[in-house]
Amino acid sequence: MTKIELQIHDDVIKTINKIKSVNDSGIEIFIPEGSILFDNILNLKLVDQQAEAMGKSIQFSTDDETGNILISNLEGNSEALFRSDEQSEEASDTEIRERKGVRFVVPKFKFRFPKFSIPGKSKFVFLLIPLIIIIMIYLVIGTRAPRAMTKIVLFSDPLTRSITIKVKLGSQTNQDTNLLKGSSVETTVQSNGEALTTGEILVGEKAKGKVTIYNKTSDEITLKKGYELQYSNNDIDYKFLLDSEVSIPSSHQESSDPGSPIIPGEKETSVTARDIGSSYNIDSGKTLSVSKYKKSELEAKSKEDFEGGKADKVKVVTEADLTALSKKLLDQSTLGAEVSLKSKLMSPNKLIPGAVQIIITKNSFSHKAGDKTDKITLDQTLSIKGLTYSETDLNGLLGKLIDKLVPQGYTLSKKDWSVKIEVLENSTNSILSFTEADLQATLKTSVIPSVDKEAVKKSIAGKSSGEAEKILGSIKNVKNYELNISPAMPLFKRVPKDINRIELIIENE
């Protein structure tokens, strides 16, 4: 047996169609409480008759008290409701009856039917009056009680438009100029990093030694402290400076004999290399020239091996090192700047990509330029600001702007509303900055034909269901429609004349 559960607004036609769609010959029909089928017992009889004509056995069941009484009356057996004193006895709360293969759940109760007798013609009149009253009540209900519910589903047409929107910090939204109010969001980011230094300098000691200076002139020559002497080797000049002032006596002949050899005057003194390095550690007996004097005038020789000269390369901080490390940390923080700003936002605010300002508020280096070190560190603090807009404000502005672009005779439907935002880069025609940004909003939605609800109600008021359906089907772009009149009463399948009793719903696909 197949069970069918009806809806509260399912009338006789819909119920018969549901029975017809079931292949099973045995069907249980559950009628919900308050169903329009319980408006009149004729509804149940019609369903019963049509099921029997289809060769199907049906069983009604319900939780509705009135419905149970109507189901029991469908038997046509008044003794299910009225029992005489002689037939009354203790019984259970419900009784199951069968008729023509249909099972009925019948509430049992005790009732004593009054006994009286009526003369022949008077009895006929007595029975005719209630029938007339019932017919009058049926006519009143059939003409005044019905309500109509109709739903129209319209085909929608797609609508796509691109609109340029300017977001400006501190402004107010203005649909006439496509201006959207902008706000700012701010955060502080701290980062640190390190880098190797690239500068190099030589550090070490200067070579020292003693020299003998020979004066080949006839005059005494005095050289001041710091006077320069030079030793050349492989085209490289190594310069030394006098540690103190020195006077070199003039040359003289060995004897009074005019032909005796001339002996140069000489003086021993100490010198220090001008620069550091082991290359200044020259050997004893090396010849050094005296600055500004010819070798025929003054000349010097190392009296001993020079010692103490050494040099090593040491890393130092350069200005370029400081600048590069600062930029490196700034670039790293810039990559995460928008993420940091977005974490500060609350819905429905949105950050505009690229509309960000980053300022270094603090750079704290471990060393300054010129310091001797292999590595430098930096603690950097940034102030980051971004330009934002409200998604709610944007949709409101777009809604007002798109209304102007809806074709005549159509109404905007926001059922399939979607918005795609693209940021326009800095150019001659657009701006992207912390305070102002141009956006292109591409809106996709749909439109449906404009339908005057009151006019539709008036056009179907008082019409038969067939006439009303023709009118509904003729509406522009209609996809489908529904028309339900309740209570569904035979002979009264007309839409109410009172438009206040007509409910009209318009939807798009």
Contacting residues for 97 by C-beta, under 8 A, at least 6 apart:
72, 75, 77, 80, 103, 104, 106
CATH number of the domain at 200-314, please?
2.40.30
Nearest to 7 by CA among 46, 36, 50: 36
**Structural Rg of the chain based on CA atoms:** 57
- For the chain, the structural domain boundaries read 2-115, 146-156+450-508, 200-314
Q: Count CA atoms within 13 Å of residue 488 on its CB side.
A: 21
Return per-residue pLDDT of the chain as tens, 509 residues. 888 889 888 888 888 888 888 888 888 899 998 888 888 888 888 888 888 888 888 888 898 888 888 888 875 543 333 333 334 333 334 444 444 344 444 444 444 444 444 455 555 555 666 666 656 654 555 455 578 888 888 877 788 888 999 999 999 999 999 999 999 999 999 999 999 999 999 899 999 999 999 999 999 999 999 999 999 998 899 999 999 999 999 998 877 777 778 899 999 999 999 999 999 999 999 999 999 999 999 999 999 999 999 999 899 999 999 999 999 999 998 888 889 899 989 989 999 999 999 999 999 999 999 999 999 999 999 999 999 999 999 989 988 888 887 877 788 776 677 889 999 888 888 899 999 999 999 988 888 878 888 888 888 888 888 888 888 888 877 888 888 877 655 555 678 888 888 888 887 77
What was the pLDDT predicted at 135?
Answer: 60
What is the reported pLDDT for 123? 52
CA distance 24 to 5: 15
Contact (Cβ atoms closer than 8 angstroms) between residue 245 and residue 257: no
Amino acid at 302: S
Give every CB contact of residue 444 below 8 A, 6+ residues apart in sequence: 158, 159, 160, 416, 417, 418, 419, 420
Residue 479 is predicted with a pLDDT of 81
